[in-house]
């Protein structure tokens, strides 16, 4: 996007008062400090003359209804009897409304608010969605309950194209409603990728059409704790209407204990000496039946999930069981791998990547795949997660030096909590704070906050996520110079109140109160 005009100075909103404090901070904003235009319930959203999309565009038609309700559904709002600020015109310059957002989808927009004109211009419907969110946050209420919006000019676009949130639905099953609520909150913070870590060792809740025994025998409950084909479609469409991509993760060869009951022979039998131990380890990488299953399973996944990318995991493979198995040991000698079981893992991963590539899919893998020197396509995305000793800047430097695009999650494991304002640590991370060239830093395409599920279920998911996930969202959206911690505290505390008003349970940053606390009724 072209640099902003010189008459649009960057302005930090330092106080919560007459004008709403925006989260995440736009790239450029000029806002009047006082006054404002009163709003009435006659406020409506309309397609501008000449817009490349028109009524019938489901993405924007539904968004117009959602945002009108978000602005007007709170008790105590008073409306103006007459107001010039009754229509926000939305101009989308590029055609296209029926598809899905992608890594390359532009999200830029420009928003102009005055007494004479309210205009939102965006290249795509996805940018228009981001502008509607900003517009909704710009509205503010007087002590008497009158709604206003101040004269404002915003030019905005994301710093990184991939701004994600991982939910783990295996260790604890998350009801569909909780996932949809999370997608709403992601849209409010301009996060745009739902990384669905849908299965893992404890349970296999994904209900496969081709292999129904996977969930029938691997879910906590095959009737109540599964995601049906209709559930998955609902999540994907709900996300699409909010400009959010859905990237599923099916992690192998490790983290696969729940796969075993539904696919006999898939996992490696472990041995005690010369006898089977009765337990199983990672996916068996030496059987042709393993790859026949993966070929068929990922054929289904490639049709169910429309995004170009699928996350294939590849992390934390325990070699103990492979070492104990005499067939595996014989295969190692035959292949000349010696005692280096990372080569066996690489053998498996390489074949799996070829399978997924054959369906026209790209893939994301955890950093162990890179660490073990697996041959991957040049457009592979490496996901950096290892947190020990804060080494992730070095990891990011190493991956990008090899020419691979990179996602960062290492400092953003939100399942980990501590007493006090730990959002500050999350917020102060700089994804590009590593030694490397400009070309390397251009390979960092963003990052993800991760919510692993060992100690998280539907009872504590939302308050543990929010507003802390918002700290990650601003770091990935806003300008690198947005660093003022007092300003960030003021805006995030205000945004937390916005989340409560929107029925998102969000924990407090510190002491204080919101005008409208969360009401479950």
Does pLDDT of 500 surpass 80? yes
Secondary structure of residue 268 in the 3-state scheme = strand
* 112 pLDDT tier (thresholds 50, 70, 90): very high
pTM listed for this prediction:
0.94
Given a cut of 90, whether residue 284 has pLDDT beyond it is yes
The string of pLDDT tens digits covering residues 33-43 is 766 788 888 89
List b or e across 78-95, with b for residues whose CB sees 16 or more CB atoms inside 10 angstroms: ebbeebebbebbbbbbee
| 448 membership: H or E segment, kind and range | strand 444-451
Give the mean model confidence (pLDDT) for residues 451-466. Answer: 98
Rg (CA), the chain: 25
pLDDT band at 2 (very low <50, low <70, confident <90, very high): very low
Is the pLDDT assigned to residue 287 strictly greater than 70?
Answer: yes
Run of H or E including 120? strand 118-122
Tokens 């609520």 belong to 181
Confidence tier at 5 by pLDDT (50, 70, 90):
very low
Residue 358 or residue 387, greater confidence: 358
**CB burial string 364-397: b at 16+ within 10 A, e below:** bbbbbbbbbebebeeebbbbbbbeeeeebbebbb
DSSP letters along 45-89, please?
Answer: EEEPTT-SS-TT-HHHHHHHHHHHHHHH-STT-B--SS-S--EEE
Average pLDDT of the segment spanning 364-377? 91
Mean pLDDT of the chain: 92
Contacts (Cβ under 8 Å, ≥6 apart) of 332: 338, 339, 341, 344
How far apart are the C-alpha atoms of 295 and 300, rounded to whole Å? 9
Alpha helices in 359-484 (DSSP H): 367-371, 392-401, 423-427, 438-442, 461-465, 468-477
- Active-site positions read 316
Residue 71 to residues 45, 66, 79: CA-CA distances in angstroms? 12, 9, 11
Binned at pLDDT 50, 70 and 90, residue 99 comes out as very high
Q: Are 247 and 309 in contact (CB under 8 A)?
A: yes
Average pLDDT for 430-459: 97
> In this structure, how many other beta carbons lie within 10 angstroms of the beta carbon of residue 10?
15
Residue 12 has pLDDT above 50, yes or no: no
Q: Which residues pair with 267 in a beta bridge?
A: 283
pLDDT, residue 388, reads 65
Residues 298-335: tens digit of each pLDDT: 999 999 999 999 999 999 999 999 999 999 999 999 99
Q: Pick from 257, 259, 239: which is nearest to 247 by CA?
A: 239
């Amino acid at each position: 996007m072209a640099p902003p005009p010189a008459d649009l100075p960057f302005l930090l909103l330092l106080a919560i008062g007459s004008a709403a404090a925006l989260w995440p901070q736009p790239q450029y904003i000029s806002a009047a400090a006082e006054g404002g235009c009163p709003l009435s319930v006659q406020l409506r959203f309309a397609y501008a003359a000449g817009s490349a999309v028109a009524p019938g565009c489901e993405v924007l038609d539904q968004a117009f209804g959602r945002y009108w309700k978000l602005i007007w559904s709170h008790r105590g709002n008073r409306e103006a009897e007459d107001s010039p600020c009754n229509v926000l015109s939305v101009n989308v310059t590029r055609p296209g409304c029926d598809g899905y957002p992608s890594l390359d989808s532009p999200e830029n927009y420009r928003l102009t608010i005055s007494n004479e004109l309210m205009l939102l211009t965006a290249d795509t419907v996805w940018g228009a969605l981001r502008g509607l969110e900003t517009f909704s946050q710009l509205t503010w209420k007087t002590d008497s309950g009158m709604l206003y919006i101040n004269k404002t000019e915003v030019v905005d676009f994301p710093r990184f194209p991939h701004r994600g949130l991982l939910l783990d639905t295996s260790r604890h099953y998350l009801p569909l409603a909780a996932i949809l609520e999370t997608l709403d909150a992601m849209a409010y913070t301009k996060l745009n990728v739902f990384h669905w870590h849908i299965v893992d060792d404890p349970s296999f809740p994904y209900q496969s059409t081709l292999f129904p025994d996977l969930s029938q025998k691997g879910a906590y409950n095959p009737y109540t704790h599964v995601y049906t084909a209709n559930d998955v479609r609902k999540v994907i469409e709900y996300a699409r209407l909010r400009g959010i991509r859905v990237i599923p993760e099916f992690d192998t060869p490790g983290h696969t204990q729940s796969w075993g009951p539904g696919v006999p022979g898939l996992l490696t039998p472990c041995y005690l000496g010369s006898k089977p131990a009765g337990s199983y380890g990672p996916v068996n990488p030496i059987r042709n039946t393993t790859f026949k299953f993966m070929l068929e399973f990922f054929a289904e996944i490639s049709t169910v999930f429309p995004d170009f990318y699928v996350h294939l995991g590849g992390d934390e493979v325990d070699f103990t069981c492979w070492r104990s198995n005499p067939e595996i040991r014989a295969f190692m000698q035959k292949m000349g791998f010696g005692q280096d079981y990372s080569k066996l893992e690489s053998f498996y991963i390489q074949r799996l990547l070829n399978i997924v590539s054959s369906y026209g899919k790209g893939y994301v893998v955890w950093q162990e795949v890179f660490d073990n020197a697996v041959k991957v396509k040049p457009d592979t995305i490496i996901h950096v997660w290892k947190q020990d000793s804060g080494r992730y800047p070095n990891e990011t430097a190493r991956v990008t030096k090899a020419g691979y695009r990179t996602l960062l999650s290492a400092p953003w494991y939100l399942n980990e909590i501590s007493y006090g304002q730990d959002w500050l640590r999350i917020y102060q991370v700089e994804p590009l704070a590593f030694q490397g060239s400009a070309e390397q830093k251009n390979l960092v395409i963003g990052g993800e906050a991760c919510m692993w599920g060992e100690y998280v279920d539907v009872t504590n998911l939302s308050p543990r996520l929010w507003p802390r996930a918002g700290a990650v969202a601003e770091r990935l959206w806003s300008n690198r110079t947005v660093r003022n911690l007092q300003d960030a505290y003021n805006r995030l505390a205000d945004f937390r109140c916005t989340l409560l008003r929107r029925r998102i349970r969000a924990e407090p940053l510190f002491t204080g109160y919101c005008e409208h606390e969360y009401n479950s009724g």
